[in-house]
Structure 1
């Protein structure tokens, strides 16, 4: 299916996130959209994964904002944040969030990162250990390692053209891969994604996704995990279809990947949630929220 490009930006076709929405300019052409909910001594910053946006946290924020200040942001190039030719490296995203923390004068910060957001969170915690108190890593990227030939395969798989020309049926399948049982509410995400594909800045979004994938592959954290000083909560879904990569590592299980990464973290507790896929924090939100609330307390 081909889409007719419309002269509207992506931010205009994404509906309300359901929490107070704000923007902050971090540079001339870099504006970050974020939601800000709740109050408390602890500040939780939520970092979404590849191809995602603030909506990934809509089952997490209501509970956790009862006892903490919760801020969830769209990374540069994603969601309602500005689009541009951004580097997409883990260091770039870490610096953006560090600047976000400084600009908003945030204290007592715990980073909550999902998938790529987990890899970004670890990168940031390693760069600025004195500014991050704790880490929550939900199905984090970076625990699974890849050889150079495998990296090349993944680099070649994600292209701007393939993202721009994804068939409608494949868009739905791609969303389904994130879940053990896809909740009906995800139909809204799919509808928004299809509207995004008609926007005049979707090419920049697709470029961001490609650069982000390269950023993950080129900014590995596995060997650096022993340097993480912060107490860390690691949560994976036992039925994660995306970690490990089924095509490249069919012999690996999610539990093995989780254990390998968790064992390298000096101050980690690790939980595997049953009947949950890559979006374990969404499918098993009540259990995830309970774990995080206890951990930050």
Structure 2
């Protein structure tokens, strides 16, 4: 049974949690179809010594739908508004999948509000074949044909299907609002092209983490982004796929803990 975390809401309707305290703030953005609870291991770990804020994407969990067209810059603007509404100054931002694209856009457009950025299972420069496949899925979802089981086949290996992570993600996919999912997936399908040339201008420490078994957010993508960013570093978790923060929580949390120690000024 899913244990729902207590949320607050911003004036514009974004649902979030705010736990822990510390000198720095860590903000977590989940991926399409998920919600705050998908960050459970990281919330538990980092709220011990940081202020941790995690947010439901628009139309996901308890957040209001996006009040604009489902395009990546509008999701980035939504996130920037959240940061302002919470009265936050420079923050550390970690995003997973769709959340990684939002984090990348935030790094590109709001550098003064960023200390460090981490992209978990982020996409970068999809091949034409991969782009065609993801856009076809977006069109199918928009048509109302939302297969809530299909992502599980891409996100988990066969030997992970009896684990707690699989069952949690399965439950979250069953509960997600179909229109909220469709809007976010449309932005996800086209959003990797929006900020892809921005990494050379991002001077904040940037970590790019993925699982070596993730066929859509590949290790090669993480390494290419790390090379493009002046202070980038790639981390590849062996033996895991797309939901690596849940299937390898200790390894991912260790990588994030190391990232949070990187100096923010040279």
Structure 2 length-normalised TM: 0.86
* 1:1-297 correspondence runs (5 A): 16-18=3-5, 20-26=6-12, 31-83=13-65, 86-141=68-123, 143-147=124-128, 151=131, 154-159=134-139, 164-167=144-147, 171-180=148-157, 181-182=160-161, 183-196=163-176, 202-217=177-192, 219=194, 221-243=195-217, 254-297=218-261
Deviation at 1:193? Answer: 3.1
8 Å contact kept, 1:33–1:80? yes
| Secondary structure at 1:95 match in 2 | helix
Tell me the number of residue pairs that the alignment of Structure 1 and Structure 2 aligns: 258
8 Å contact kept, 1:164–1:206? no
What are structure 1's unaligned runs of at least 5 residues?
A: 1-13, 197-201, 244-253
- Counterpart CA distance in 1 for 2:240 and 2:203 is 29
CA RMSD of aligned residues (A): 2.5
What are structure 2's unaligned runs of at least 5 residues?
A: 262-266
**Change over 3 Å in CA distance of 1:161–1:113 after alignment to 2:** closer
The structure that has the greater radius of gyration is 1
**Change over 3 Å in CA distance of 1:241–1:55 after alignment to 2:** farther
8 Å contact kept, 1:36–1:69? yes
8 Å contact kept, 2:98–2:122? yes
1:117-175 deviations in whole A, cap 9, x for unaligned? 1111111111111110100111112x23344x8645543332365774345xxx33422
